[in-house]
Amino acid sequence: MSTGLALAIEDDNPLLASDFCAEMVKQMRALDTYDMYEKWSVARILSPLVLTKERKAEIPVIGDPDDITMSRVKAYYNAIASLIEKQSEGLMAVPMINLSHEGFGRAIITIGKLVVVDKTLRDVHRFGFKSLENMHEEATKIVDAAVERLNKYREVAEL
pLDDT tens by residue, 27-38: 999 988 888 888
Q: What's the structural domain count of the chain?
A: 1
* Residue 140, domain member (yes or no): yes
Question: How many angstroms separate the first and last alpha carbons of the chain?
Answer: 44
Are residues 129 and 135 in contact, defined by beta-carbon separation less than 8 angstroms?
yes
Q: What is the CATH number of the domain that holds 115?
A: 1.10.3100.20
- Nearest alpha carbon to residue 147 among 83, 104, 99: 83
> Is residue 59 one of the residues assigned to a domain?
yes
Q: In the predicted model, is pLDDT for residue 93 greater than 80?
A: yes
Q: Would you state the pLDDT for residue 74?
A: 95
In a domain, 1, yes or no: no
Q: What is the pLDDT of residues 106-151, one digit of tens each?
A: 999 999 999 999 999 999 999 999 999 999 999 999 999 999 999 9
Is 9 a domain residue? no
Q: Nearest to residue 125, comparing CAs of 46, 45, 70?
A: 70
Kindly tell me if the per-residue pLDDT of 55 is higher than 60.
yes
Show the domain range for 108: 14-157
